[in-house]
Amino acid sequence: MSTHLDHDQQHTTTEPPVLTPQHLGPAAQGASSLTATDVSCWFGSRQVLERCSLSMEPGKVTALIGPSGCGKSTFLRTLNRMHEVVPGAKIAGTVELDGQDIYGEDLGVTEVRMAIGMVFQKPNPFPSMSIRDNVLAGLRLSGKSAGDKDTVVEESLRRAGLWNEVKDRLHDGGMSLSGGQQQRLCIARSLAVHPRVLLMDEPCSALDPISTRVVEETVIELAHQITIVIVTHNMQQAQRVSSQCAFFLVEEQKQPGRIVEAGDTATLFTNPKDQRTLDYVTGRFG
């Protein structure tokens, strides 16, 4: 069973009560702030992150960069309670959505994941569903009312930059789309539940350059409406899409990952404070 610890106390993670509009706070209808404080993570007895703190500002794209194995994706998964899915996984520290601890007793895990959506590395549309049903799947799974379903589908696909390409084939299977289109379909599926934060774990790593460009354009457009946190190994992509950046690093083998430096993306790439950051972004290692 997964557990959540503060740095002085351990408790077992249980299914908390349902999140209500009152719990969501004043930013319930728009982009939200997401703040991680002293986040540490374990898989069993192996610590993979140590005391990572990062403020992800509302309505901006924050990129997480660093070599493979430094804990970027693990950190991302703590931001909507995906880390605790792994048996034996533990987390210490806090993650706050508009000041509310998402691991606190007042918040339900399902509602947290509706407010903080996730797009994974490989496109994962539901293979037995049509394009239209894929968009609506998140609403159905959550039990949330879709209202006018046709409007929800069109709005979500437009926001994901996919509507014009699929509007005449909504009843075709989701798997009939190209890889880049499938990824944007997954983005549309996440957007249909109106999340306030969208997490993206290397969303372009399996895509060709043309599809990558389209997804990046979608991310930039969405940043005006929603808070986005993206893991990427592509330094050029981080510079193209993000306004904030955090550099993760494991300094020695078998040591946990840490945030070396975080701040404005342009500054991090042109005038970082730490020599290790400069070495990484200029390609001297990693």
pLDDT, residue 163, reads 97
| Interatomic CA distance for residues 60 and 243, integer angstroms | 6
211 and 180 in contact (C-beta within 8 Å)?
yes
Residue 22 lies in a domain: no
Residue 72 lies in a domain: yes
Q: What is the DSSP letter of 1?
A: -
Domain holding 56: CATH number? 3.40.50.300
Q: What is the DSSP letter of 256?
A: P
If one counts the domains in the chain, the total is: 1
Residue with tokens 């037995």: 128
| Interatomic CA distance for residues 229 and 263, integer angstroms | 13
pLDDT, residue 224, reads 85
| Interatomic CA distance for residues 123 and 240, integer angstroms | 22
Residue 155 lies in a domain: yes
Residue 25 lies in a domain: no
For 257, the token pair is 């990952």
pLDDT, residue 274, reads 96
Query: Which residues lie closer than 8 Å to 6 by C-beta, 6 or more apart?
Result: 92, 93, 94
N- to C-terminal Cα separation, the chain:
34
| Interatomic CA distance for residues 247 and 218, integer angstroms | 24
Which residues sit opposite 118 in a β-bridge? 199
Query: Which residues lie closer than 8 Å to 223 by C-beta, 6 or more apart?
Result: 59, 60, 61, 241, 243
pLDDT, residue 7, reads 53
Residue 21 lies in a domain: no
Q: Which domain holds residue 144?
A: 3-14+33-281
Handedness of CA 137, 138, 141, 146 (dihedral sign): negative
Length of the chain: 286
Q: Where are the beta strands (DSSP E) in the chain?
A: 3-5, 10-12, 34-43, 46-56, 61-65, 89-97, 100-101, 116-119, 197-201, 227-231, 244-249, 258-264
Strand 10-12 relative to strand 3-5: parallel, antiparallel, unpaired? antiparallel
pLDDT, residue 140, reads 82
Distances in Å between the alpha carbon of 46 and those of 35, 70, 86, 170, 180?
24, 13, 13, 46, 36
Residue 47 lies in a domain: yes
pLDDT, residue 111, reads 85
pLDDT, residue 242, reads 97
pLDDT, residue 188, reads 96
Residue 27 lies in a domain: no
pLDDT, residue 207, reads 93
Note down pLDDT in tens along the chain; length 286 residues.
456 665 544 333 333 333 333 334 434 346 899 999 999 999 999 999 999 999 999 999 999 999 999 999 999 999 999 998 899 999 999 999 999 999 988 888 888 998 999 999 999 999 999 999 999 998 887 777 667 899 999 999 999 999 999 999 999 999 999 999 999 999 999 999 999 999 999 999 989 999 999 999 999 999 989 999 999 999 999 999 999 999 999 988 889 999 999 999 999 999 999 999 999 999 988 7
Residue 24 lies in a domain: no
